[in-house]
Amino acid sequence: MAQPEESAPQELRPAWSLPAGAAEGLALAVEWPGEVTRDWAWGGSTGKGVTVCILDSGVDEAHPLVGGVQRAVVASVGPDDEVIVEDDTEGDLCGHGTACAGIVRSLAPDCELVSVRVLGAGFTGSGGVLLAGLRWAVEQGFDVVNMSLSTTKKQFAGILHELTDKAYFQRTVLVASAHNMPVESYPWRFSSVISVGSHEEPDPLTFFYNPDPPVEFFARGVDVEVAWAGGARIRCTGNSFATPHMSGLCALVLGKHPELTPFQLKSVLFLTSTNVGGAR
Amino acid sequence: MSEDLKAAVAAGVVGSQESFRELLQSVVEVARAIFGAEASSIFLLDEQSDELVFEAIAGQGAEKLLGQRFPSSTGIAGWVLVTRQPLVIEDVTEDPRFAKDVAEQTGYVPKGLMAAPLLHEERALGVLEVLDRPQRSQFSLVEMDLLGLFANQAAIALDLLQRARRAESMLAESGEGAEVVARLAATVDSLEDEQRAAGLKLLGAVEEVLRRDEGG
């Protein structure tokens, strides 16, 4: 019977455990205050140093409410199912991505924006394109990915689940629109993402924690004035506009506390929600 | 498919397309009335050509638009279809490109629109739009939920319509015989009791003659 090699004792140690005496090495990078207030969470932050990816219909980077985009790409799937990501010169094919980018910018004026367009190649195969775009965004290690979209295709659920978990463990925060229709859709139902529905309050910093998941947070999503394609400004309603409000808040918190894991960030959002500690 | 099964399918299918179309039409009429809107329409996704097709319209532009097509993943309807997310937009004419595109396609440019994806199980079948509802001070989430309910109903009707179309095309491919039998079955089924009994008797006699010929 083969004996374990003495020269490699570390390989025999369980990979995910905490050996005696190692707890001291687990000091948190950030000193957690006795009370987490909004001022502690994002006071003074402009989102500087944080990159927010807008996975959507493209972004009109010339729009004054968007204020420039660091990079814009379009995702597609090749004949052998390979992910193709190319520079995008089309801008916004609908207006929606521009709206989301403008909302994030309004909350986090100094964040970096990256546009990943997953619309335009036709409906057939759009689920694969969405997945390709998300895969690329996660591989880039962006801090926040705004997903005002979902898919109902069960065949993508498993891969999406893997991707969202991968993002969660590598500190990429996925913020996804919840669905208010009676269908199963993804990825917002996964616990590794921050899922967002709408409330009717006009204040962009009002957001609620929902103690009755799967929707975890409600943010401003009704009658929101947003940037739109062609330099327009229009008023919109939908969970897809509530989502970038939470993405913007994530950018603010991460701008001040870049070391936070998605779990910690979600905890900060919980503690600073309007219906929890946000009023203080 | 066996001949018996074909006949059974045919009997169920003939005339049902028209009923499902009426159901779709009724959904857009009711949606338009409930929201007090100028128009309401249902787009069906044609998976083969990857286009959205105007399938039912209530209100302005109805006759001109029915059957018109456009690419499935551009514009607001395309976004709603691909992302499965409903949305409401006011003052959409502020977007000059939208106004131009829509005007070229339809001759009617709405100012505001509500759009919801038509989802049945895991499939996205199309999009429901409600155009130019009266401007109020603020849109409410109750209206959004109402739109979702209509979308759900429309999705079921659209699913039935697609099934009926598939069954009819299957029938058409299977030859003239099944279609004739199906038409006869549908006609007899629609008769009053007395006529129906007479019709069935007559058909029974025809069947007997045919079988006798078969045997001889």
The shortest CB-CB distance from A200 to any of B73, B124, B141 is to B141
- Do the chains contact at B74 and A121, CB–CB below 8 Å? no
The shortest CB-CB distance from B94 to any of A96, A233, A238 is to A233
Q: Residue B107 gets which letter from DSSP? A: S
Segment B54-58 mean pLDDT: 93
- Average pLDDT of the residues of chain A: 91
CB A246 within 8 A of CB A219: yes
Q: What percent of chain B has a predicted confidence (pLDDT) above 90?
A: 26
Query: Could you tell me which chain A residue has the CA closest to the CA of B118?
Result: A181
What is the residue extent of each domain of chain A? 43-271
Query: Could you tell me which chain A residue has the CA closest to the CA of B91?
Result: A234
| Yes or no: domain A43-271 corresponds to CATH 3.30.460.10 | no
Convert the pLDDT of each residue in A61-91 to its tens digit: 999 999 999 999 999 988 888 889 999 999 8
Chain B residues within 8 Å of chain A (Cβ atoms): 45, 47, 50, 71-76, 78-79, 81-92, 94-98, 116-117, 119, 121-124, 138-141, 144-145, 148, 151-152
- pTM strictly above 0.95: no
Convert the pLDDT of each residue in B149-185 to its tens digit: 999 999 999 998 888 888 777 777 776 666 677 777 7
- Could you tell me the end-to-end alpha-carbon distance of chain B, in angstroms, rounded to an integer? 27
Q: What percent of chain B has a predicted confidence (pLDDT) above 70?
A: 84
Predicted ipTM of the assembly: 0.85
Task: Pick the residue of A185, A189, A201, A234 with the most B CBs within 10 A to test the interface with B by mutation.
Answer: A234
Task: Pick the residue of A96, A126, A183 with the most B CBs within 10 A to test the interface with B by mutation.
Answer: A183
d(CA A83, CA A140) in angstroms, rounded, equals 14
d(CA A38, CA B82) in angstroms, rounded, equals 36
- Do the chains contact at B78 and A94, CB–CB below 8 Å? yes
> Is it true that the peptide bond before A19 is cis, omega within 30 degrees of 0?
no
Q: Helix (H, G, I), strand (E, B), or coil: what is residue B128?
A: strand
Q: What percent of chain A has a predicted confidence (pLDDT) above 90?
A: 73
Q: Which of A136, A149, A196, A138 is nearest to A172 (CA)?
A: A138
| A11 exposure class (CB count in 10 Å sphere: 0-12, 13-18, 19+) | exposed
CB A30 within 8 A of CB A260: yes
Convert the pLDDT of each residue in A159-194 to its tens digit: 999 999 999 999 999 999 998 777 889 999 999 999
- Average pLDDT of the residues of chain B: 83
Amino acid at A67: G
How sure is the predictor about B11, in pLDDT bands with cuts at 50, 70 and 90?
low
Q: Is the pLDDT of residue B216 over 60?
A: no
How sure is the predictor about B72, in pLDDT bands with cuts at 50, 70 and 90?
confident
CB A199 within 8 A of CB A180: no
Q: Is the pLDDT of residue A44 over 80?
A: yes
Q: B4 or A225, which is more confident?
A: A225
The phi, psi pair for A96, rounded to 5°, reads: -65, -45
d(CA B42, CA B116) in angstroms, rounded, equals 10
Segment A112-132 mean pLDDT: 89
